[in-house]
Structures are given as C-alpha cells and as structure tokens.
Amino acid sequence: MTAFEITFRDKTIFVDSPFMATIFIYQSYGHYFIEVGGSETKSDELTLSHKWIDSKMKIGESVEISIIEENTCIPSKPIETKRAFSESEPTFKEEISEFHARMLDKFYTLQNFLKNEGMIT
C-alpha cells in the first residue's frame, strides 16, 4: 500500500490509502491556497470528510509531495473530520447567491468592456 507524504511549512503529514485523498493548490482572486482533504465511506448513509491542510499560501512558499510505501510511516490525524454533505441548506444557498453575484459582476464588466471597444451593441 502507498501513502502521500506532504511537507508544507516545515511540517510533514502522511495521508494513507484508505482515504480518497485530494490535494488542491489553487489561486482565487490573486490569493493562493493549499487544501489536503479526503473522504471515507463508512456506510451507505455515512461518509466522513477529512482535512489535513487548509491554508492560504504566501509568496515563496513551497509544497513537497511524495508517494511512499505506507509501511514506512504513521498516518497523520486530520485537523478536521466531519460528516460529509451535512452543511445546512441556508449556508449552501447563501454561497450559491454569492457565487452568482460575483459571476454577474464579471459578466457586466466584460459586457461594458466589449461595448466600449465597439465589439457589441
């Protein structure tokens, strides 16, 4: 069996294979983030969501990721474990509304630019 060995900010974590693990490094509006998480299905009714790293990154920071033999490490405990898909409906609707507002703002900005350039009327 294998595991991820992830070093970030002088801390090394090990995420082992029983989890469906994800490593996201992404940029949003000029800010950079790293997120290491995973899910574990306990039964048809219960899926757990685990998170090992959830952090904003700074300029110059790096992440080292290796795939290693699982028997060479002790799996790290997540910093957060919760029931997956258990967020309340209002929070989800609020997030969707915020997302739609941002997308609509981008649309109007692009529309005005294209009008000013004479590309649309």
C-alpha 15/C-alpha 35 separation (Å) is 13
Is the pTM above the cut of 0.75? no
Cβ-proximal residues to 81 (8 Å cutoff; 6+ apart), any chain: 48, 49, 50, 51
Is residue 74 domain-shared with residue 93, that is, in the same domain? no
Residues 118 and 60 in one domain: no
> Do both 75 and 114 map to the same domain?
no
- Residue 22 and residue 56 in one domain: yes
| Pair (54, 66) in one structural domain | yes
Q: What residues make up the domain containing 45?
A: 2-85
Which secondary structure element, helix H or strand E, spans residue 33, and what is its range? Answer: strand 31-41
Sheet order of strands, 2-8 included: 11-16, 2-8, 63-69
The tens place of each residue's pLDDT in the chain, 121 residues long, gives 788 999 999 999 999 867 788 999 999 989 999 999 988 887 777 788 889 999 999 999 999 999 998 788 888 898 988 887 755 444 456 667 887 888 899 999 999 999 999 999 8
pLDDT for residue 90: 42
How far, in whole angstroms, is CA 42 from its chain's centroid?
22
